[in-house]
Structure 1
């Protein structure tokens, strides 16, 4: 069936100028409009929106100051960007929309908003989303080869680089830069690496972080890169805490000190010893992500992710073993199959699977520290009632009620910030 919705390309990166350069190249296709929201003054309640399109041999640009009373990213999306996508898609002279995202906007968040946030109803109209009018053709991430690996392994906040959207925007540079690349369907490399060794290390990291995702030098026209995006690419699909952690068949061997380390014990983890072991993931590690079977929270999966020197732990919803038959119908089929393959007659689908992308921390040191957090024979024998009484240093869950905040999956499993360490 032909999809009549207007193609949408998302363009992200830490450097506005480099991303704008790629956006300008995409204007070569007639009917393309490039939209950029500069949210650097969002804290003062203002956003500068720029639209560019080609008219003959020239590029016309229109800048509009958008006032937002609430001064938040969600309001920017709901009140201006998402309605603008619908308006552009309705125009006969627009055949493609390119969103050049400000560094403070993460593409996965935006794709979730496009698909899920209801636009203000028109008079007599039916509630709809921007996704009813546009479809994601591809997500491009622009990476400055000389600095990206340092950025994603460091401890700077967005505010340290002048990129924070608001005064209380405490996200780290590593968190945002990694999310941009991890969600991308193709990667644009801008500029040379510092040297040949740095270039080889960057390639090794990208091969493992986004296996199968095409990448090319910024001098290659981005439309060629979009054409190379494979048929099975995510194209805006939102990830969940129960997706495969090694999708795309990344290389598992070591290269230039870069390696993927998989940790999957057959027992739950002691919360206190795990808390002590986590510091190892904040030094010499690019990122880590995975599901944890925490002994003190026997009925719920725990999600862990780290980026550079920052780490977050959150709720990933109930284990399937705790659900009644009616609730199983709402579970993603891929998750049900994965659970069936590992099902234990006593503990069901409870398990731990953590994948760590290291570039300096030895793999043996990581696995040794994490295995020390698994329950001992004596603790294992004590059983779940005893496990639930273990002191839990992770504290209570924090849930953010803000609109258009976190993406959720079809089974109502979601990740919320529980603990942040840096």
Structure 2
């Protein structure tokens, strides 16, 4: 059986470190691994490893200055070496505050490092992902449009992500939430309502403060929900309501599921983003845009930050039918429309300070009208498309299934 691996993420370095050290204190054979990426743009990464209660720190030079190269050239080989060491019983990976756990887990499961015979998860079983959240500020951060650079968390000069994208991504992908501190009672109720809809299967530990002590999370990881994520990314064509979250409105917080059966006009959808990015914590799902009738787009927002990506072809394009697994073919068959095939709009919107009816109305206005539908796909392809072109990355073997084409880091 592979040795256990735990990933801890969060924007507070001290609280993340305290969480990892609590695990190491409970099990002396635990090794902590952390990379400080604050100088990544300069091509310098600091790696720290804690064994037997002592830290060793190494400065690394990376020619490309990117996260993917950090993973491939240093982290993955290091984890393989630790897995082969009989004196190591558990590895806890502490992510830099600017890192998101999903692409890291994707690399651990699918990238074969130099000198390895398989991916890291063949020899280190990922037990789960722990997200450390700042209780008093998390909800404000989750709905904001503040840039990572303004918080000093950007990894490079051109890192245009928002704080919301990081803190929401941490919480949504986690199996355990360590919530440090608490806001006033009303804001705590609202925050808890948001977390119940964002990460319905995650276990939670409430901690007074990191300085007061963080408990060992390994007993909680041993009792996760049977369907817990455990580092497995969502399929962009899979169910959007993972974990059966509550749909009823509570203290102004609601989860809105929108399903529509006609394409969006690209420019009117772009205009609707003003509504989608106001008073919402999360918007995610697959959309059908008239100017790209063969391609499914993936929309994912957090607060005022929005990413749009390519999610492959619709199965209505017969060329794609044999390129997907049986589960997707079965799901598409159940929803198949005689005219449109599997093409549809499927969005989930987590609302905390907006009126759901206004969001539905904005999306309805972005759909093609009857006369535009009648004009046909040849005309649709001529519509101006504001979404840009596909992004290419020199290290794209570490990318997930969705290739980003746009990131709007500000609220418009």
Give the TM-score band, short-chain normalised. Answer: over 0.9
* Number of the residue aligned with 1:362: 355
CA shift in 2, pair 1:317/1:252, >3 Å: same
Does the CA contact (< 8 Å) of 2:145 and 2:409 recur in 1? no
Partner of 1:187: 177
Give the C-alpha shift of residue 65 in structure 1. 2.0
Q: Which moved more, 1:200-209 or 1:74-83?
A: 74-83
User: Corresponding residue for 1:411?
Assistant: none
Secondary structure at the residue paired with 1:215? strand
Q: Distance in 2 between matches of 1:229 and 1:135?
A: 15
Matched, 1:393 2:386: yes
Q: Distance in 2 between matches of 1:41 and 1:227?
A: 36
Q: Would you say 1:37 and 2:35 are equivalent positions?
A: yes
- Partner residue, 1:208: 197
> How far apart in 1 are the matches of 2:69 and 2:164?
25
CA deviation string 1:64-102 (max 9, x = no partner): 222223322122111111111000000101111000111
**DSSP-derived class of the 1:66 partner:** strand
* SS of residue in 1 equivalent to 2:392: coil
Q: Partners in 2 of 1:42 and 1:307 — Cα distance?
A: 24
Aligned to 1:198, the other structure's residue is in SS state helix
Whether the 8 Å CA contact 2:161–2:305 is kept in 1: the answer is no
- 1:84 aligned to which of 69, 75, 78: 78
Aligned equivalent of 2:123, options 126, 133, 157: 133
Mean Cα deviation higher: 160-169 or 82-91: 160-169
Matched, 1:114 2:103: no
How much has 1:329 moved relative to structure 2?
4.2
| Aligned 8 A contact 2:69 2:395 in 1 | no
How far apart in 2 are the matches of 1:293 and 1:70? Answer: 36
Please state how far the C-alpha of 1:417 moved relative to its aligned partner: 2.4
What is the RMSD of the two structures over their aligned residues, measured on CA atoms?
Answer: 1.7
In 2, Cα distance between the equivalents of 1:419 and 1:176? Answer: 13
- Following the alignment from structure 2 to structure 1, what is the Cα–Cα distance between the partners of residues 393 and 45? 24
Taking the aligned partners of 2:340 and 2:231, their CA distance within structure 1 comes to: 34
Return the offset for 1:108. 0.8
Q: Quick check: 289-298 or 200-209, which moved more?
A: 289-298
- TM-score, L = length of structure 2: 0.93
- Structure 1 counterpart of 2:167, from 172, 177, 180: 177
Q: Deviations over 1:118-167 (max 9, x none)?
A: 2113xxxx643323321211100001100111112111222111112222
CA distance in 1, matches of 2:203, 2:101: 18
1:419 positional shift? 5.0
- Find the counterpart in structure 2 of residue 372 from structure 1: 365
Runs of 4+ in 1 over 6 A off after TM superposition: none
* Alpha-carbon displacement from aligned partner over 1:358-399 (angstroms, at most 9, x marks no partner): 111100110011111112222223332332222222233333
Q: Deviations over 1:249-306 (max 9, x none)?
A: 1111111111111221221111121111111112111110111111121111111111
Aligned residue for 1:407, secondary structure, equals coil
Tell me, yes or no, if the aligned pair for 2:265 and 2:290 is still in contact at 8 Å: yes
Cα pair 1:315 1:418 within 8 Å, conserved: no
Structure 2, unaligned stretches of length 5 or more?
Answer: 208-213
Q: Within 2, Cα distance between the matches of 1:233 and 1:419?
A: 29
